[in-house]
Structure formats: C-alpha cells, structure tokens
C-alpha cells in the first residue's frame, strides 16, 4: 500500500474523464459509461490485464496496444462518439504535454492549422480539475463510479453478496433515493480508495505522470492570486500609504482612537498608583521591579494601540507576547513564593547576570578581533551599565529559563493565570517563532489556478492592510496588567497601596 492522494497523484490521470463529467455529474456519468461500453466491446475482458484494467485513466489508455487503439478509433467513429469523447479543449490541453499518456486519443481530433492554443488548454484544464478536485464531490464520485464499473466488468473486483449494496447500485444514479445514493457513493469511494492505494505498476505510472503534469504547469500557465480576506475587510486603500494616520473604515476608526485613549487612561491610573504608593526606601526593590515591569508593559500596549503599523498580528504578536509575560510575572509576584523578599532580588540578579555575560563575551571578542572605536565605546557603555547598581564581582550568571527558576508555564500555573499562557503567550509565540500557519496567515497568498494545484506564494503587497485588531487586544491586556500590578503591590501585611486607586475597569470579552 502506498500513500496516494487524490488531487496530487490521481486527478492528472483522469483529465480526460473529468472533461466528460464536468458540468452535470449524472449526465456525464452516462456519457462516460457509453464511451466505456464502446471501448469494452473491442477490448477483451475490459482491458490489458494483468497490469490493470482500462479504467478511463490516461495511463490505462496509453497501455492499449497499436491494434487495440485502431479498434477503439473505429468503434468510436462507428457509434458517432468521437466528438463526445474527444473535445477540442481536451485536444489542446493534452498536446501541451508532448509525452502525455493517452495523447493518441487527443490526436483523434484535428486542430485548425494543427495549432495548440494555451488559452484553450488552460480553460479546459481549469474546468476539468475544478470538476473533480474535491475527492468526495459530485465529479470525482462520478469518475470513481465509472472506474468501479470497469473493475466489475473486467472481474478485477468481486464481492461477497452482502459486502456491497449491489441492488441499489443497479439503479444508480438516476433511480435511487437520496439515502440510497449516499450509501452507494460511499461504498464506491471506499472500494476506489482500496484499489488506488495498491503499490502496482499502474499507480506508479500515474504518479510519474502526475509529477510531470504539475511540474510542467509552472512554465505553461501563470499563477492566479486569491483575493485576500483581510485586504477586502480593510479596503485595498492602504492606510500605511498615507503615513499611517488616515482613518480606517467606519467603526474601526473609532476602535483605533478608543484603544489608544483606553491605554492612556489605564496608564494614568497606573502612574498615580505607582507614585503614591510607599516604595519603602530602605529596600525599594520590590516596588521598583513591579513598577518597572508594569511601565514596560504599558509602553508596549501603547505602541501597539497607537501605531497602525502594529495592528497586524504579524507585528504585534511578539509585543503582545511580551505583555502577557509581564502580566504572568506580576501575577506570580502576588503568589506566596513571589512575595518572599528574595523574589524581586532574584529578578534583578537574573537580568544583571545576563548583561554581565554579554560583557564577558564582548571582551573576549575584542581580545580576538582587536580594538576599534565602535567596540571600545560599546565596552565602555557596558562597563558602566553592568556596575550601575552592584559591582560585577558580586554578580552571578544564571542559565535558568526565567528568574524564578521555573518556566513561564509553571509560573502561570502557580499564579492561576494559565488562560493567559494558553490563549495569548501560545499564539503570540507562534508569531515570534515564525511558525508555518503564521506565515500563511500573514505573509503568503494562495495561487488558485486549478492547473497549479493550490500552492502558496509570498504576498505581493509588502504593505499590510489594516484592521485595529491588535490595538484592541493591547488595550484589553493593559487592563489585566493594571489589575495584576495593583494586586502584587498590596503588601504582605494586607496594607493596601496608599493611593485611592479604583480597580481597573473590567475589559470587555
Ligand atoms: Zn500558481
């Protein structure tokens, strides 16, 4: 058994049959059956066994011998089926591939001046592929039904009396109820799947042709970009073209200014709280760490809310992730472990250790590379920053994932904010790490030309269309940030911050 996929591996083999059934599946099914019957009448036992039966696929057409091809030509002519069986579109299409299997059938129809028209070819292929691309759709089911019929006729397939709805099959497709139709079609698709997965010569030839067909199409036909949903929603008139300050359609313009104003209002509340709460100057470390974290978080929120260039998740993701991390830290500082005096000390030490490590690396680099003005300036600045609060000889370097010695997820669990970890950090991390769904969502567009299969291309527009989604998210997160800051600031004794700060407004869902 091999992994055989319908569109990728099998559809190219049925490009002829697909053209016959495109349009009305049931009517096409009868037409295809009439052609098959004509061919069966001149080919013994329905096909060139043992390599597989004639099933309407191009590969099975190709395997007919010279004399069999002559007999097929004669019978189609005699029964007036040549024009039905071989359309001009099919003839144009197949002649685009000089070594296509079954091209002798395409050559039954003469093209004016023997000229192959790529536009006619693409038109035929688009229609044929679109008709059967969905393996469970009407067109594909009609193809599979005729294949199944050929298998039965050639006795390549037989069933125990109860294993298949034979009686219903006899009345299919015209004289069945909807539920009988579903039963018959599901059975047909299941038995088709079983034969298509065989690791035999017929399937190997089909897959080889499929590869040639799809690969050739890159040079034969142009890409066709899908209309991007977000461009449509935002209007193609790009706000960034006008300096990023222009209004966005309707309600969204309000959202934009509202998000910025909302973050500003929360910031004012935060600042009042921070400045009016006693920092305990004998050891102000906790007040400093909490306020520094919150200040950074608000600045991120404001940047996203106020700058249209950051409204796209592609750009705001890393910033919102950082915000969520800040909120998790603040929430953790409100846990019993986070309230221990060592907690904020560890936070500072952790970051300072990383800076010290950078200084050591930079010095090592300077020893090897020799001095330069830029490097010397950099080292001088580092020297000052590293020793700002504490001599570097007293600083340890930690290689833990976070300052607390637990990973962020465990901190979120301890602080009872796992929702933040799962619903914000997770998706925003996928942006930060450029995971595949993020690339298709923001940076790619689909080529929808059926002859190209669906495939992804880079977006043609460097400038994104704008909707203030991330601006609204930033404002909502800023509300949680303020709550977490205030909760962490409450002293262990239960003494509330001195400011008469009202609790942050509940952010909307
Ligand atoms: Zn394409």
Return the number of other C-beta atoms located less than 10 Å from residue 136's C-beta: 11
Determine the distance separating the centroid of ligand 1 and the alpha carbon of 386, expressed in angstroms.
54
Distance 123 CA to ligand 1 centre (A): 15
Q: Is residue 99 part of a domain?
A: yes
> Phi and psi dihedrals of 385, rounded to 5?
-70, -40
Determine which helix (DSSP H) or strand (DSSP E) holds 469, and give its type and residue range: helix 469-489
Q: How far is the CA of 216 from the centre of ligand 1 (A)?
A: 12
72 in any annotated domain: yes
- Structural domain including 288 reads 229-235+248-338+413-509
pLDDT at 242: 41
Report the alpha-carbon distance of residue 54 to residue 429 in Å, rounded: 53
Strand partners, 447: 225, 455
Note the pLDDT of residue 233: 55
> Do 268 and 179 belong to one domain?
no
b/e map of 104-131 (b: 16 or more CB within 10 Å)? bbbebbeeeeeeebeebbbebbbbbbbb
DSSP helix/strand/coil, 339: coil
pLDDT of residue 79: 92
> What is the CA(382)–ligand 1 centre distance, in A?
51
- Same domain for 80 and 173: yes
Helices (H), 285-369: 285-306, 313-333, 341-369
Banded pLDDT at 157 (limits 50, 70, 90): low
Residue 495 pLDDT more than 60?
A: no
Q: What is the whole-number distance in angstroms between the Cα of residue 81 and the centre of ligand 1?
A: 35
Residue 498, pLDDT > 60, answer: no
Q: Which range has highest mean pLDDT (263-272, 360-369, 454-463)?
A: 263-272
Q: What is the number of structural domains in the chain?
A: 3
314 close to 438: Cβ distance less than 8 angstroms: yes
The mean pLDDT value of the chain amounts to 85
213 C-alpha to ligand 1 centroid (Å): 14
Own/partner pairs for 27-34, CB < 8 Å, 24+ apart? 28/139, 28/142, 29/142, 29/145, 29/146, 29/173, 31/84, 32/56, 32/142, 32/143, 32/146, 33/146, 33/149, 34/79, 34/81, 34/84
**Is 297 inside any structural domain?**
yes
* Strand duo 455-458 + 444-447: pairing: antiparallel
CA of 111 to the centre of ligand 1 (A): 28
Whether 429 and 306 map to the same domain: the answer is yes
Please tell me the distance between residue 136's alpha carbon and the centre of ligand 1 in angstroms: 24
| Residue 448 CA, ligand 1 centroid: distance in Å | 7
Q: Report the separation in Å between the CA atom of 453 and the middle of ligand 1, taken as the mean of its atom positions.
A: 7
Residues contacting residue 183 through CB under 8 Å, at least 6 positions apart: 165, 168
pTM of the model: 0.74
Confidence of residue 509 (pLDDT cuts 50, 70, 90): very low
Q: How far is the CA of 437 from the centre of ligand 1 (A)?
A: 19
pLDDT in tens, 240-273: 444 443 344 445 555 556 899 999 999 999 999 9
Inform me whether the pLDDT recorded for 229 exceeds 90: no
Q: Is residue 458 part of a domain?
A: yes
Centre of ligand 1 from the C-alpha of residue 174, in Å: 38
Whether residues 180 and 294 fall in one domain: no
**How many angstroms is it from 450 CA to the middle of ligand 1?**
8
Q: Please classify residue 339 by burial: count the beta carbons closer than 10 Å to its beta carbon, then call 0-12 exposed, 13-18 middle and 19+ buried.
A: middle
More confident residue, 158 or 393: 393
Give me ligand 1 centre to Cα 454, in Å.
7
- Give me ligand 1 centre to Cα 224, in Å: 6
230 Cα to the center of ligand 1, angstroms: 20
Q: Is 351 in the same domain as 432?
A: no
Q: What is the Å distance from ligand 1's center to 8 Cα? A: 14
Express the helix, strand and coil content of the chain in percent, nearest 5 each. 65, 0, 35
Instruction: Select from 317, 329, 482 the least CA-distant residue to 408.
Output: 329
Residue 81 and residue 195 share a domain:
yes
Residues 147 and 274 reside in one and the same domain: no
Answer for the pair 168, 184: CB distance below 8 angstroms, yes or no: yes
Q: Mean pLDDT over residues 438-456, rounded?
A: 91
Higher pLDDT, 33 or 244: 33
Is the model more confident about 508 or about 19? 19
- Position 254 in a domain: yes
Residues 438 and 469 in one domain: yes
Question: How many whole angstroms from 455 Cα to the centroid of ligand 1?
Answer: 6
Is there a single domain that holds both residue 319 and residue 459? yes
Asked if 63 and 19 count as a contact pair (C-beta separation under 8 A), the reply is no
The model's confidence at residue 25, banded by pLDDT at 50, 70 and 90, is: low
Q: At what angle do helices 469-489 and 251-276 cross, to 10 degrees?
A: 20
Q: Which of 210, 282, 151 is closest to 10 using CA atoms?
A: 210
What's residue 245's pLDDT? 39
Do 353 and 331 have their domain in common? Answer: no
Provide the residues around ligand 1 (an ion) whose CB is within 5 A.
Answer: 223, 447, 452
Determine the distance separating the centroid of ligand 1 and the alpha carbon of 445, expressed in angstroms. 10
How far apart are the CA of 87 and the centre of ligand 1, in A?
25
91 falls within a domain: yes
Do 417 and 390 share a structural domain? Answer: no
Ligand 1 centroid distance, CA of 16 (Å): 22
Ligand 1 centroid to Cα of residue 103, in Å, is: 25
The confidence score (pLDDT) of residue 175 equals 87
Domain end call among 355, 383, 403: 403
> How far is the centre of ligand 1, averaged over its atoms, from the C-alpha of 204 (Å)?
25
Encoding tokens for residue 78? 């005699």
What is the Å distance from ligand 1's center to 444 Cα?
Answer: 12
Ligand 1 mean position, distance from CA 325 (Å): 40
Provide CB contacts within 8 A for 155, sequence distance 6+.
45
* Same domain for 418 and 284: yes
> What is the structure's pLDDT at 239?
44
Instruction: Tell me how far the alpha carbon of residue 143 lies from the centroid of ligand 1, in angstroms.
Output: 26
Is 494 part of any domain? yes
Q: 225 pairs with which residues across the strands?
A: 447
242 part of a folded domain: no
CA 214 to CA 399: how far, in whole Å? 50
pLDDT of 36 strictly over 50:
yes
Question: Average of pLDDT values for 285-313?
Answer: 94
Of residues 391 and 435, the one with the higher pLDDT is 435
C-alpha 209 – ligand 1 centre gap (Å): 19
What's the CA-to-centroid distance between 345 and ligand 1, angstroms? 57
Q: How far is the CA of 104 from the centre of ligand 1 (A)?
A: 29
- Average pLDDT (155-176) is 77
How many H helices and E strands in the chain? 23, 2
């Amino acid at each position: 058994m091999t992994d055989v996929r319908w569109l990728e591996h099998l559809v190219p083999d049925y490009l002829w049959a697909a053209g016959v059934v495109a349009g009305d599946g049931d009517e096409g099914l009868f037409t295809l059956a009439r052609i098959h019957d004509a061919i069966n009448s001149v080919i013994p036992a329905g096909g060139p066994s043992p390599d597989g039966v004639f099933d309407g696929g191009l590969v099975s057409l190709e395997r007919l011998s010279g004399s069999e091809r002559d007999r097929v030509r004669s019978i189609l002519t005699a029964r007036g089926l040549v024009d039905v069986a071989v359309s001009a579109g099919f003839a144009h299409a197949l002649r685009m591939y000089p070594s296509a299997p079954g091209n002798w059938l395409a050559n039954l129809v003469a093209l004016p001046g023997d000229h192959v028209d790529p536009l006619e070819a693409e038109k035929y292929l688009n229609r044929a592929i679109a008709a059967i691309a969905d393996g469970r759709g009407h067109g594909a089911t009609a193809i599979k039904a005729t294949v199944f019929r050929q298998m039965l006729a050639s006795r390549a397939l037989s069933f125990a009396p109860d294993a298949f709805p034979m009686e219903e099959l006899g009345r299919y497709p015209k004289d069945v109820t909807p539920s009988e139709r579903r039963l018959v079609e599901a059975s047909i698709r299941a038995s088709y799947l079983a034969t298509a997965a065989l690791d035999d010569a017929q399937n190997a030839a089909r897959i080889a042709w499929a590869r040639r067909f799809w690969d050739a199409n890159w040079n034969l036909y142009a890409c066709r970009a899908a209309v991007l949903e977000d461009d449509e929603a935002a209007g193609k008139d790009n706000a960034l073209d006008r300096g990023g300050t222009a209004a966005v359609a309707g309600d969204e313009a309000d959202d934009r200014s509202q998000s910025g104003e909302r973050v500003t209002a929360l910031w004012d509340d935060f600042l009042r709280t921070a400045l009016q709460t006693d920092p305990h100057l004998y050891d102000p470390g906790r007040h400093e760490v909490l306020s520094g974290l919150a200040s950074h978080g608000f600045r991120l929120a404001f940047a996203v809310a106020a700058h249209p260039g950051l409204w796209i998740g592609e750009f705001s993701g890393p910033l919102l992730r950082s915000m969520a991390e800040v909120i998790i830290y603040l929430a953790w500082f409100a846990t019993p472990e986070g309230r221990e005096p060592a907690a904020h000390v560890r936070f500072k030490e952790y970051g300072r250790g990383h800076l010290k490590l950078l200084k050591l690396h930079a010095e090592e680099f300077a020893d090897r590379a020799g001095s330069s003005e830029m490097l010397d300036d950099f080292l001088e600045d580092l020297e000052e920053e590293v020793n700002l609060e504490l001599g570097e000889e007293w600083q340890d370097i930690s290689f833990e994932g976070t300052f607390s010695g637990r990973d962020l997820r465990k901190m979120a669990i301890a602080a009872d904010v796992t929702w933040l970890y799962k619903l914000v950090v997770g998706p925003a991390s996928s942006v930060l790490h450029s995971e595949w769904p993020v690339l298709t969502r923001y940076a790619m567009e689909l080529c929808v030309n059926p002859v190209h299969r669906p495939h992804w291309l880079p977006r043609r527009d460097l400038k994104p269309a704008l909707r203030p989604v991330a601006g609204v998210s930033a404002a909502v997160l800023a509300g949680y940030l303020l709550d977490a800051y205030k909760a962490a600031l409450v002293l262990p004794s239960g003494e509330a911050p001195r400011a008469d700060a009202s609790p942050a407004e509940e952010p909307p869902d």
